[in-house]
Structure 1
């Protein structure tokens, strides 16, 4: 999932409250985040889930740049087309921080944007991808996978898998090093990245990292953080279910591990042998607990998983850096994780 800046009217609960129930953080809400939520509440714009899906897509694209950092200049940006299994041309945007060659290939981050499988695009996540490319000194391939409600589950997963296979096959032609490919995504894009980590293992590939930014991983959205933070923090319970109503082909697909890698079908994805993970979670995010649980699932399977907690933050905070200075630390941490995985720390 991911929420537009106009997404949720409603004042946040008092940031100084101790955890009154399971699922609520002990830490105070970041003061700039609290101010932002207050501004959104005062604007009284309709939540994204009150819009027609097409209007929601437009609204998200318009609102995405407002609170995000200014886009960094990069050496090269190229729009590409990747063939899908059904003949569809999947759009992708390739960022390069410097010239690459066969003698000096660059690491590559395969990135999947958030947006509840319904909104979002490489354009909405352009500043983040530019930052990761320049500061981690890697190529970033940002994937324009197909969205609901026109394209329902498992189309987005198939698109992600097809781009994954293509990236490994074409790495040399792109100037990328196939031995240094990472997978990444935020929210719904984090779900796709988890699935790609499992698919990569099946294909015999060895990504160096899965960078999961507040990923969606559970089947029923019934964790303590989902219950305690259902209203008032940008991403609401009603919005989450609206997103999934646009995306899922049928309710039983919630039990498919490609939708719910944590617990789909009871045991979720078989993650043994998958690549290491760096997982960022926000304290005031309904998705907090499932990110924590997914890190535990990976560790239980013997997969190294670093959990980065940002207690005063909300969902989608990686894209609020223009308004919330503390987001800069999370960006630093993500860059450090990538550089470490690429052997460039």
Structure 2
């Protein structure tokens, strides 16, 4: 079994002592309540930002709630790069509030604008609802870039876990011209393959003592994509895309104590083989979900600072025209404006 960071071990110990039950032991509603309570217990102090504004985008299922953050120290009139963020939670849990502290930290780390998206959740809204909402949010932000004071030629996507899945799919859709092109993808222990067939699924089981196990992922995936045939489509399992060539540059973070570990590392390897600039950050002592635990896991801050630096560097490269990334708003509009 991989080693365990002492802060992560303390989190797991506290959960065990509190009698925390696995998400799959209850109903989706009970899982959501437990998830929200768990986040509240590990959150860092809220970081002050220059602006925090709730807004929405039109979507197939109705308005999609979003929250915009502009980093402290940025001018109100400045046109900033934008990082579109999708929260984790197995496509079933989480919302703007569970990831509010994280998005504030990210805004400060990348010194730009972060927009969080509150996509529809399963089981009420199974696949492809989350992808549809992500696509609609991205397209809306590009259309409204001038009003939002963001640079549509420097939009990145990212997310943790299920949110990383959504971000990876949108990045490939943008590459294919079905959505506005994005210039970077930050994938934090992402779900990449819904087949649940990698070795880490066999390593990280209920006996491992961690909060996300093979059984928990099956609970999530069975609710998100109940039709097994849907799991084969790359819009659900991006690793099944025919090629990753010309995908946006990426930072892929993985943890050893996580059933999603191997698929994330394999995705980074495939990006590398396809000639995509990729940085893989593998933590052999961390657990799934740690990135939202900045109040009790000391390494979260430095890792977010690193991620922010990666985003800033990519935006600098784009601004200076040092690579082939799109440089005008017109060039990043989708071939299918209704996507």
TM over 0.5, shorter chain:
yes
Q: Deviations over 1:250-299 (max 9, x none)?
A: 11111011111113xxxx35322111000111121111111110011111
* Structure 1, unaligned runs of 5 or more: 1-23
Could you say what secondary structure the match of 1:160 adopts? helix
Residue 99 of structure 1 is aligned with which of 58, 75, 93? 75
1:136 aligns with 2:103: no
1:278-293 equivalences under 5 Å are 278-293=251-266
What's the CA shift for 1:310?
A: 1.2
What's the CA shift for 1:246?
A: 1.6
1:254 is matched with 231
2:202 is matched with 227
Could you say what secondary structure the match of 1:182 adopts? strand
What's the CA shift for 1:158?
A: 0.7
1:17 is matched with none
What's the CA shift for 1:135?
A: 2.3
Q: Deviations over 1:131-177 (max 9, x none)?
A: 11122111111000000011010011111111111111111110001
1:244 aligns with 2:221: yes
Report how many residues are paired: 313
Give the Cα–Cα distance (whole angstroms) in 2 for the partners of residues 113 and 36 of structure 1. Answer: 20
RMSD of the TM alignment (CA)?
1.7
What's the CA shift for 1:31?
A: 1.4
2:297 is matched with 324
Could you say what secondary structure the match of 2:272 adopts? helix
What's the CA shift for 1:87?
A: 5.3
Q: TM-score, normalised by structure 2?
A: 0.88
What's the CA shift for 1:206?
A: 3.5
1:163 aligns with 2:140: no
1:172 aligns with 2:146: yes
Could you say what secondary structure the match of 2:21 adopts? coil
Are the counterparts in 1 of residues 88 and 161 from structure 2 also a CA contact under 8 Å?
A: yes
Q: TM-score, normalised by structure 1?
A: 0.87
2:328 is matched with none
In the TM superposition, structure 1's runs of 4+ consecutive aligned residues that sit over 4 Å from their partners are: none
Could you say what secondary structure the match of 2:158 adopts? strand
Give the Cα–Cα distance (whole angstroms) in 1 for the partners of residues 314 and 193 of structure 2. Answer: 26
Are the counterparts in 1 of residues 84 and 117 from structure 2 also a CA contact under 8 Å?
A: yes
Are the counterparts in 1 of residues 55 and 68 from structure 2 also a CA contact under 8 Å?
A: yes
Residue 124 of structure 1 is aligned with which of 84, 98, 115? 98
Are the counterparts in 2 of residues 114 and 188 from structure 1 also a CA contact under 8 Å?
A: yes
2:284 is matched with 311
* Structure 2, unaligned runs of 5 or more: 318-339
Residue 51 of structure 2 is aligned with which of 66, 76, 91? 76
Give the Cα–Cα distance (whole angstroms) in 2 for the partners of residues 159 and 224 of structure 1. Answer: 32
What's the CA shift for 1:219?
A: 2.8
